[in-house]
Amino acid sequence: MAVSKTDSVTVRSPTDIVLIRQAVRTWTAELGFSLVDQTKMITAASELARNLLDYGGGGTVRFEVLHEVVKRGLRLTFEDQGPGIADLDQAMTDGYTTGRGMGLGLGGAKRLVQEFEIASRVGAGTRVTITRWK
pLDDT tens for each residue of 40-49: 999 999 999 9
Query: Which residues span the domain enclosing 8?
Result: 2-133
pLDDT of residue 89: 84
Domain count for the chain: 1
How far apart (Å, rounded) are the C-alpha atoms in residues 48 and 44? 6
pTM (predicted TM-score): 0.89
Cα–Cα distances in angstroms (integers) from residue 123 to residues 10, 81, 85, 120, 126, in the given order: 20, 8, 9, 9, 9
pLDDT tens for each residue of 28-71: 999 999 999 999 999 999 999 999 999 999 999 999 999 888 89
pLDDT of residue 1: 38
Helix (H, G, I), strand (E, B) or coil at 68: coil
For residue 113, give the CATH number of its domain. 3.30.565.10
pLDDT tens for each residue of 74-121: 999 999 999 999 888 888 877 666 655 544 579 889 999 999 999 999
What are the two backbone dihedrals, phi and then psi, of residue 40, each rounded to the nearest 5 degrees? -60, -45
pLDDT tens for each residue of 121-133: 999 999 999 999 9
